[in-house]
Structure 1
Amino acid sequence: MEQAVEAAARDHRFAAEVTELAELTAFCADDGGYSWWRAGPWAGKTALMSSFVLALSEQALEPQPWAVAVSFFITGRLAGQDNAAAFTDALLGQLQEILGQGLPEGLTPEQRDGERQRLLREAARHCKERGSRLVLVVDGLDEDRGPTVGQNSGEVRAPAPRRRVPYCRSL
Structure 2
Amino acid sequence: MDLQLGGKVALVTGGSLGIGKGIARVLACEGAEVAICARRKDVLEATADEIRRECGRAVLAIPADLTRREDAENFVRGAARHFGRIDILVNNAGSAPGGVLEALDEDAWQQGLQLKFMGYVRCLRAALPIMKQQGGGRVVNLIGNDGVKDSYWEIVPGACNAAGQNLTKALA
Same fold (TM over 0.5): no
TM range (shorter): 0.3 to 0.5
TM-score (norm 2): 0.36
TM-score (norm 1): 0.36
